[in-house]
């Protein structure tokens, strides 16, 4: 239930989801500085100082209570401790009991089901632990990998907004995916 404070890592079969630390800066920079990784993210490739400032900000966010609160979690492999990407969950609306999820993984670690495995754990946190009513994800519909991830998680495509976003020098569409707690429980 809200307020929720993340006090310990979340473990899956192969992965650990934990709060970021300053030791993650170089790895986060290694993927957030790449054009291919940022193609459909809302920001442009970041330099190390920008990443360091963002990570410092993320470290302070450990609690979900008000609109806009978020957890930006490092995803690391349990067998070798390698950080491979990150996930976020944010409170979209307390009044409407809705959270939003997002994900970014280093390309070296794509295609092995890590994003799916960790995002499933985040969905479980959202529905089983915090007990949100609804979870959404928004993306650029051209981002096939992210669309497929939403579908693998069992989310429903609810909307396709046409050219609603001025994005990196062009008009872009937004795809909106969602799942309700009762659908999660029935799945
Ligand atoms: C979106 C993103 C996280 C998806 O990564 P991904 O590697 O496709 O997703 P997963 O880690 O779940 O891997 C799934 C793939 O691994 C395969 N796979 C291999 N082993 C698997 C396993 N044990 N379990 C599940 N899938 C497995 C799946 O078949 C699937 O392959 P496919 O893409 O050919 O269908 C990644 O593309 C990314 O970081 N992109 C850049 C940032 C970005 O755009 N973020 C989203 C903004 S909205």
80 found inside a domain: yes
CA 147 to the chain's CA centroid? 13
CATH of the domain at 100: 3.40.630.30
- The secondary element (H helix, E strand) that includes residue 29 is helix 25-32
pLDDT at res. 1: 84
pLDDT at res. 28: 98
Tens of pLDDT, residue by residue over 40-69, are: 999 999 999 999 999 999 999 999 999 999
3 found inside a domain: no
153 found inside a domain: yes
How many angstroms is it from 112 CA to the middle of ligand 1?
7
d(CA 176, CA 178): 7
Query: Which ligand 1 atom is nearest residue 40's CA?
Result: 44
1 found inside a domain: no
pTM for the model? 0.97
pLDDT at res. 2: 87
130 found inside a domain: yes
Domain, as residue range, for 46: 9-186
**Residue among 169, 127, 167, 173 nearest 147 (CA):** 173
Test site for ligand 1: of 15, 42, 44, 112, most ligand atoms within 8 A of the Cβ: 112
Q: State mean pLDDT over 135-139.
A: 98
Tens of pLDDT, residue by residue over 58-113, are: 999 999 999 999 999 999 999 999 999 999 999 999 999 999 999 999 999 999 99
> For the chain, what is the domain count?
1
């Amino acid at each position: 239930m809200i307020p929720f404070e993340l006090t310990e890592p979340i473990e899956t079969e192969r992965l650990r989801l934990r709060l970021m630390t300053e030791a993650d800066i170089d790895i986060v920079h290694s993927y957030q500085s790449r054009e291919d990784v940022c193609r459909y993210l809302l920001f442009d490739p970041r330099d190390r100082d920008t990443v360091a400032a963002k990570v410092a900000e993320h470290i302070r966010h450990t609690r979900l209570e008000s609109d806009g609160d978020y957890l930006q979690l490092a995803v690391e492999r349990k067998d070798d401790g390698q950080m491979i990407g990150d996930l976020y969950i944010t409170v979209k609306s307390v009044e409407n009991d809705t959270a939003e999820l997002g994900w970014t993984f280093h390309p070296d670690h794509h295609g092995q089901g890590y994003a799916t495995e960790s995002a499933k754990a985040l969905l479980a946190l959202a529905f089983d632990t915090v007990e949100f009513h609804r979870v959404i994800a928004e993306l650029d519909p051209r981002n096939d990998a992210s669309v497929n991830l939403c579908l693998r998680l069992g989310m429903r495509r609810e909307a396709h907004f046409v050219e609603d976003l001025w994005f990196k020098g062009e008009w872009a569409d937004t795809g909106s995916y969602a799942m309700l707690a009762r659908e999660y429980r029935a799945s």
